[in-house]
Amino acid sequence: MQVVRKHLAALRAGTAEPVRADIPSPRKITSWIMRPRDTLTPSQEERLLQVRLVCPDITRACDLARCFTDLVRHRRGALLMQWIRQAEQDAPKPMASFAGSLRQDLDAVTAGLTLSWSSGVVEGHVNRVKTIKRAMYGRASFQLLRTRLLTQP
């Protein structure tokens, strides 16, 4: 009750601190940027627009992230080098660093964004083997592990 009285007294005297603006978290801003535009609610679009107007780095990062998402979703690997150049020139430092890391293995990244091949099946098998291995750790011999891996589908 004492807190309320102090606050009311400060309001009446005109010495109360202004209410802080509702600043969205970085995670929330990132989710607005990465979601397709048509899935955002009007209030989320408005909030993202406000954030973009306040911070030019977020504006540039947002544009580049959406462009990169388009490259991935529509398999436009031929445009990757152009995107990397744009990101390295005037993107915020973390995004420029990401673009530089893509440049290091450009052939593999371009192939991944262009070809329809996928290593998903192999990754699934690796994940299954690691799960079984963790479950059996310290409990049985290598021979039993080998037999279990070869006999399970």
Q: What is the pLDDT of residues 21-61, one digit of tens each?
A: 678 899 999 999 999 889 999 999 999 999 999 889 999 99
Token representation of residue 85:
């150049």
pLDDT for the residue numbered 6: 82
Torsion of CA 23, 24, 26, 31, to 10 degrees: -160
| CB of 31 closer than 8 Å to CB of 4 | no
Residues of the chain predicted below pLDDT 50? none
pTM beyond cutoff 0.75 = no
Q: Please, what is the angle between helix 56-73 and helix 80-90, to 10°?
A: 170
Q: Residue 149: its pLDDT value, please?
A: 83
